[in-house]
Chains A and B, each alone.
Chain A
Amino acid sequence: MDNFNIMDYAPIGVMFLVAIGFAVSQIMVTQLIGPRKRTATKLMPYECGKDPVGSARDRFSIKFYTVAVIFLLFDIEVLFMVPFAVAFKKLLQMQQVTSISYGTIAFVEILVFIATLVVGYIYVWKKGTFDWGLQARAEARAEARAMVAAKKAELAELRKAA
């Protein structure tokens, strides 16, 4: 801590200012120039449409949980890759100074890590976790087929009449 310099932290301070400024400016701009329609739904506490009064023991679709787990998968991927990226340059330098292959080992390790994650990704993909509307799509398809059949029957009747 002997070469502590407050100016080293200046980028973090700037980042803070930008973040606060962005958030405040966005809210101000929408307040100032956005159109307003005061309907009953829009004035509810949660604009997403969640009823604020009622039983708290609601059931959620299992899909939310699987999505949360997958989010964790990629969250952790980034969490590990940032320190790797920070350290990698230094490790490469050390590889040149000593004859020990620090950089290569680190690179191979991160590749193995990503490969493991990709396996998980393929797994959840094939399991259909990203497919949110399987049932809805099947219903829509059945409906479309019924419509086509009805149309065909109608046409056939018209032809017969002709």
Chain B
Amino acid sequence: MNTILLQAISNPDVNLQAILPETIVAVTGIIVMLYDVFAPKQKNVTTVISLIGLAIAAYFMYSMWGGGPTTSWNGMIANDPLRISFSLVLLFVAAVTILTSTVWSERETVPVGEYHALLLFATFGSMFMASGNDFVIIFLGLETLSIATYVMAGLRKSDLKSNESAMKYFILGSFASAFLLYGMALIYGATGTTNVALIAERIASPTFPGLLLMGGAMLVIGFGFKVATVPFHVWTPDVYEGAPSPVTGFMAAGPKAAAFASFIRVFVIGFPLIGGATAAGYLHESWVTALAVMAMLTMTVGNISAIVQNNVKRMLAYSSISHAGYAMVGFVGAGVAKTPEVRDAAIAAVAFYLLTYAVTNLGAFSIISLVGQKNDRRTEFEDYNGIGFKSPVIAFSLSLFMLSLLGLPMTAGFIGKVLVFRPALEAGSVMLTTMVVVAVVNTAISAYYYLRLIVVMFFRERTTDWSEPKMPVGVAAVLLITIIGVFYFGLFSGSWIEKFVTPSAPTAVQAAK
């Protein structure tokens, strides 16, 4: 009876536990929003509520390691190391950003509760970008993340720079979203499915091979915009400079990691190399080549443009572009991997790289927020002149973050770089080896502007007066977490890398151990 109907609707694969962390973040966001509207004078209550919510979500996310089905909700939600490791990075970024923004919400009249709610909604969207195994989920996550971030960029309503930042981000961001959506539609036209795992099976014999390539190209543009790769990077410096500093730190770490998560899932898992299939082989070859060229361009343009900047926030914006390039080296390495083990290790390396970048970058931006004072007045290089021995805590920790961004041994940045360069080098192809060489040369170039900030702080005379900013508890906590993080991931990173590779579901590999 009614068999036709039953075939049309498959079993609703409800698995609330699989999306529990995301749900917790969303509910926390709603609670924060409602609390703020009933008690608009509060400043710290929503901070505490958000931190508790993020901690609970992180606990449940962490406990997913080594359990549960690999997919749920009819294959829409993945449950693999890629999802869990990136989601943990995203939750960490959100928590640290909330702590950092205590400095800024205290001295300025920004709507704190709304900011926390938006941050939580952005995190919710970005977690779905990491867990989405279906184009629809990925796009919904991306939009939730983007809309919240557009608003956060313009949170200083009366500041023209902040308005400019929000406006540019909004217009260019919606443009990029349109490209992404169009690419998804074309891929759907070529394969007849939006599920990433099914696409991977069907690209061997697509209905229209041409659509596959065009769709892939559009997806590169859409995701390339979100992770800020050259030539889709032009928005980055203006948006990062105008947005309030804690928000800039969040944008450089959170949305970038989320976009990388779905970028990797769609391309590495969705468009693999299939032996004997011409269309799939051509698609794989073209995206690997395109991304390798983009990675080289991204690193070079990012680093060279960063050299000539006089504003620290712009400098870090270009630095974030070049770091997206380094992460793409590992991404391309994952794309050319011959075995699933090598591929998963490369993906874990990218996740770990973004974790180290998040730790370092959030630390740097907490100091920039602190030094920036009200409305980020002091963000030029000159404003850092000679503060080295007058405010040693600020200067030494900022120096440490710069060295970690540069990738000095013993810091987190070094391990991250080694890990992302290795899979590309081991692939043994000429193009990928060139890419790694370009990356190493770029690291040397980047030393100029990272060290410049240190030189400015310690060896320049200060002409204007300097009053050390009062450090709130939140920022002190951020500094403690990030400094410990930089050393911890630099020296004892082994356990985390291993964790990032561990499959969530018991597989044959685990059974053999």
Q: Interface of A with B (CB < 8 Å)?
A: 90, 93-94, 97-98, 100, 102, 105, 116, 119, 122-123, 126-127
Contacts and interface: CB of A to CB of B under 8 A. Distances in A.
Nearest to A123: B37
Interface string B25-60: 000001001100110000000000000000000000
B12 A98 contact: no
A119 B1 contact: no
B6 interface: yes
Given A122-B34, A122-B37, A127-B37, A102 B12 contact: yes
A94 B34 contact: no
Contacts, number: 28
A105 B12 contact: yes
A46 B34 CA distance: 42
Contacts of B30: 116, 119
Contacts of B6: 94, 97-98
B14 A105 contact: yes
* Residue of A97, A102, A123 with most chain B CB atoms under a 10 A cut-off: A123
B508 interface: no
A147 to B, nearest CB: 33
A116 B14 CA distance: 20
A85 B14 CA distance: 21
B154 to A, nearest CB: 15
B9 A94 contact: yes
B509 interface: no
B464 interface: no
A122 to B, nearest CB: 7
A127 B34 CA distance: 10
A93 B9 CA distance: 13
A119 B33 contact: yes
A32 to B, nearest CB: 50
Interface of B: 1-2, 5-6, 9, 11-12, 14, 30, 33-34, 37-38
B37 A97 contact: no
11 contacts: A94-B6, A100-B11, A100-B12, A102-B9, A116-B30, A119-B30, A119-B33, A122-B37, A123-B34, A126-B37, A127-B37
B435 to A, nearest CB: 45
B340 to A, nearest CB: 34
Given A105-B14, A123-B37, 16 more contacts: A90-B5, A94-B5, A97-B1, A97-B6, A100-B11, A102-B9, A102-B12, A105-B12, A116-B30, A119-B33, A119-B34, A122-B34, A123-B33, A126-B37, A126-B38, A127-B37
Contact of A94 (B2, B33, B37, B38): B2
Contacts of B2: 93-94, 97
Contacts of A122: 34, 37
Contacts of A97: 1-2, 6
B124 to A, nearest CB: 12
Contacts of B5: 90, 94
Contacts of A126: 37-38
A10 to B, nearest CB: 25
B150 to A, nearest CB: 15
B6 to A, nearest CB: 7
Nearest to B37: A126
Nearest to B2: A97
B402 to A, nearest CB: 42
A90 B4 CA distance: 13
A83 to B, nearest CB: 14
Nearest to A102: B12
A102 B10 CA distance: 10
Nearest to A116: B30
Pick the 4 closest A-B CB pairs, nearest first: A126-B37, A105-B12, A123-B37, A119-B30
B411 to A, nearest CB: 43
A73 to B, nearest CB: 14
A118 B14 CA distance: 24
Nearest to A90: B5
B41 to A, nearest CB: 13
Nearest to B38: A126
A61 B6 CA distance: 52
Nearest to B26: A116
A122 B30 CA distance: 11
B157 to A, nearest CB: 11
A63 to B, nearest CB: 16
A120 B30 CA distance: 9
Contacts of A119: 30, 33-34
A100 B10 CA distance: 10
A122 B1 CA distance: 45
A120 to B, nearest CB: 9
A26 B5 CA distance: 45
Contacts of B33: 119, 123
Nearest to B1: A97
B59 to A, nearest CB: 23
Contacts of B34: 119, 122-123
B140 to A, nearest CB: 14
A93 B6 CA distance: 11
A16 to B, nearest CB: 30
Contacts of B37: 122-123, 126-127
Contacts of A105: 12, 14
